[in-house]
Structure 1
Amino acid sequence: MTVWLLTLPVLAGVALGATLLLKRRRRSGVIAVVTANIAVLAGAAMVLLSGTAASAAPVATATAEATTSAANGSALIAAAIAVAGSSLGAAIAVAYTGSAALAAMSERPEMFGRAMVVVGLAEGIAIYGLIIAIILIGNA
């Protein structure tokens, strides 16, 4: 868990640099974003493999408690990612469907019911993420 907290400033710097590169030189920015994604994937794989090896070996009670708290922290981070990702997806979906619904209703006001159903379905994406987060927190 501490490893991830220490890498957050580095990832923020890479994201800021990639954003600036994307504005100026598109190809260099894309390469920087892909490199950062590969680095995060490699770091996650190392943390996952080190956690699996530590839990497979016979350990003392203190080490077992540390592994359990690390697993709980990972579950909480996963729940946060589920909620954030689904909320962002729902926001994008509602933006597009909402604007299309308003355009359709301005031409034909009787389309209100159908348009609101489509916007409601788009909002359901956020509810699915919330349900997944509740399940993850319950298992933590």
Structure 2
Amino acid sequence: MISEAAWRVIMGALTMIGAGFAAAACIVTAVKAGAEMITERPELTIWSLLFVALGEGLAIYGLIVAILMIMVS
């Protein structure tokens, strides 16, 4: 039987894996769209960086939630 402490670590790891995959999908899409946007209108460079930063923020929030799940539960 799996102990309660092990379940906390497993759930935290699964949370981080899910957040990592979601952030990767977001960043890949944002980089592709940003490259096309810069090609069309170079003055919108900062917007492409903003979209990539939002994807990275998703990964950071996933890490925070995973740490809280491990520590608080």
Larger Rg: 1
| Separation in structure 2 between the aligned mates of residue 126 and residue 82 of structure 1, nearest angstrom | 10
1:116 maps to 2:61: no
Residue in structure 2 matched with residue 78 of structure 1 by the alignment: 11
**1:61-76 equivalences in 2 (<5 Å):** 70-76=3-9
1:98 maps to 2:23: no
- CA positional deviation for 1:76: 0.2
Residue in structure 2 matched with residue 128 of structure 1 by the alignment: 61
Quote the sequence identity (%). 33
Residue in structure 2 matched with residue 6 of structure 1 by the alignment: none
| CA displacement, residues 9-36 of structure 1 (integer Å, 9 cap, x when unaligned) | xxxxxxxxxxxxxxxxxxxxxxxxxxxx
Q: Which has the higher contact order (CA 8 A, sep 6+)?
A: 2
Aligned-residue Cα RMSD (Å) equals 1.3
Q: TM-score, normalised by structure 2?
A: 0.90
- CA positional deviation for 1:139: 2.2
Structure 2: runs of 5 or more not aligned = none
| Separation in structure 1 between the aligned mates of residue 12 and residue 56 of structure 2, nearest angstrom | 18
- 4+ residue runs of structure 1 moved beyond 2 angstroms? none
| Separation in structure 2 between the aligned mates of residue 100 and residue 87 of structure 1, nearest angstrom | 20
- What amino acid does structure 2 have at the position aligned with 1:101? G
| Separation in structure 2 between the aligned mates of residue 132 and residue 81 of structure 1, nearest angstrom | 11
